[in-house]
Structure 1
Amino acid sequence: MSNEDITLTAGDAEVTVRPGNGGRVGGLRVGGLELLRQGEKFGCFPMVPWCGRIRDGRFLNGATVHQLPLNSPPHAIHGTARDGAWRTARASEREAVITYDLVDPWPYAGRVTQVVTLTEDALTLTMAVETYDDSFPAQIGWHPWFNRNLGGDDVRIDFSAAWQEERGEDHLPTGRRTDPKPGPWDDCFGMPGGVDVTLTWPGQLELKVAGREEWVVVYDEQEAAVCVEPQTGPPNGLNTLPRLVTPIEPLEASTTWTWRRL
């Protein structure tokens, strides 16, 4: 099938899926309000096969050192799948399934499947990385750009994290954990009970970002948008907390965003 845009609808919610533009969710409209920042690089893109920055673009698999292109010098950032064209496996009114085959510069063969499911009050994104070849470390995450403002007051971000990863001068976790500090943030937080972050646009909409994984990066240093990024490990996690994809065990993760009008 093609990689043309897909539109999902449920009640007054509408989602645009863009397989041809990095497998991203290009838009999420609720009652006519567009929640995601618009543009080729925005919306909500999948971070796979890694999330955030990899130090110097290098990671180990056993004793083998791999070098990735430094697309955010001096680091490699946010995986390769957001730069590729995904293919539509199937689509219906409320669900789309899209796939992406891992290719250079990623050094291992594998397939990513993303399922986008819409109901009247929730959007669920599920991703899996699988291989029938060599095992490799990987991460899964999502990078939504939520509009800071929907025409009223600015969004408020509320969450309770068990810890904050201390951020070094190079923007990567130092390995130390601290008590969560007030924003602005470009920081990774730990939530052992699962990701649970609430965005509130006062008088308009409340949206909860949830997931079973225990890591979330919150980024609110830009004027136009804020990012709440659930992921399967911290930045540089291919090196510090590798999760192996093997022929008998894929890596899977999901996040659900639930909203209500205020």
Structure 2
Amino acid sequence: MSTEDVVRLAAGEAEVSVDAGDGGRLSSLRIGGVELLRQGAGFGSFPMVPWCGRVAEGRFRDGAEVWRLPLNDPPHAIHGTGREMPWKVALASGTETVLTCELGEPWPYPGRVTQRIALEDGALTLCMGVEAYESSFPAQIGWHPWFLRDLGRGGEGARLEFDAAWQEERGGDHLPTGRRIAPLPGPWDDCFGMPDGVDVKVVWPGELELTVASREQWVVVYDEQAEAVCVEPQTGPPNGLNTLPRLVTQLDPLEASTTWSWRRLG
């Protein structure tokens, strides 16, 4: 990590570090000096672009063309290419930064991704947009935060609170089967539907409550590891390049946002 690539934001008691050189990810979110994100390579919170979750066997169809992506989670491709690319800092102030990156190999279409990250007292807003330069293409965008289960202050571990309208049934290949079922109890590595918008609370009892909100209706919840829990708002379900493609054109970019807000407990 080059310190030149890291943008630091501060507002109220919150501090955020954004590492443009390491996939445009949030490498730190501290509230009152307490770190909320899991540290280390591949963690923090990274943008998922130009797809979210797994793409079945790394293959997707665009019209008559079938494209193949690297199998970085064999037998599937997972979480896009944006998290593996360097981003450029287009703007940086004390409370806001804008990052950009260019889509290209191994993604088969040229395009641009823009992230805006804005911090205020009590909330962090993340916005992302994908533009097509020439050919239209299907895409998805979302965010993959790793929230620490234990904040290291002797409190209880984090719990998740949400009310989903449905759960995407997960097959043995970890991909949605296409059936919507009633939400099941965890642990989860599952996609849920919230037609009125994503609204999930991460609660550290007696310490902090953080709400992940988005106008999007899809969220993946992952809590199968002891160290962290993930709440991933996104524009479509896993394998959505094949099952629910959203076309990006020169006139119609794909845009989404999520806001994380927090309050102290106790």
**Alpha carbon RMSD of aligned pairs, Å?**
0.8
Runs of 4+ more than 4 Å apart: none
Partner Cα distance (1:41, 1:222) in 2: 14
Cα distance in structure 2, aligned partners of 1:145 and 1:156: 13
- 1:21–1:40 contact (8 Å) kept in structure 2: no
Q: 1:181-217: CA deviations, max 9, x gaps?
A: 0000000000000000011101110000000000000
Report the equivalent of 1:62: 63
* Structure 1 equivalent of residue 109 of structure 2: 108
Structure 1 counterpart of 2:182, one-letter code: D
Counterpart Cα distance in 2 of 1:62 and 1:93: 45
**Rounded Cα–Cα distance in structure 1 between residues aligned with 2:212 and 2:205:** 17
After superposition, where does 1:164-243 map in structure 2 within 5 Å? 164-243=167-246
Residue 132 (structure 1) shift: 2.1
TM-score, length basis structure 1: 0.99
Taking structure 1 as reference, are residues 100 and 12 closer, same or farther at Cα in structure 2, changes over 3 Å only? Answer: same
Match for residue 247 of structure 1 among 246, 250, 254: 250
- Report the TM-score, using the length of structure 2 for normalisation: 0.97
1:108-140 alpha-carbon deviations (Å, 9 max, x no partner): 000000000000100000000001200000000
Deviation of 1:3 after TM superposition, in Å, equals: 6.0
Q: How far apart, in 1, do the equivalents of 2:42 and 2:4 lie?
A: 17
Q: Distance in 2 between matches of 1:199 and 1:36?
A: 12
| 1:36 partner SS | coil
List aligned pairs for 1:10-49, cutoff 5 A.
Answer: 10-49=11-50
Shift of 1:30: 0.4
Do the aligned residues in 2 keep the contact of 1:3 with 1:18 (CA within 8 Å)?
Answer: no
Question: Sequence identity, in percent?
Answer: 69
Residue-by-residue CA offset, 1:76-104 (whole Å, 9 max, x unaligned): 00000100100000100000000010010
Contact 2:112 2:133 in 1 (8 A): no
Structure 2 unaligned runs (5+)? none
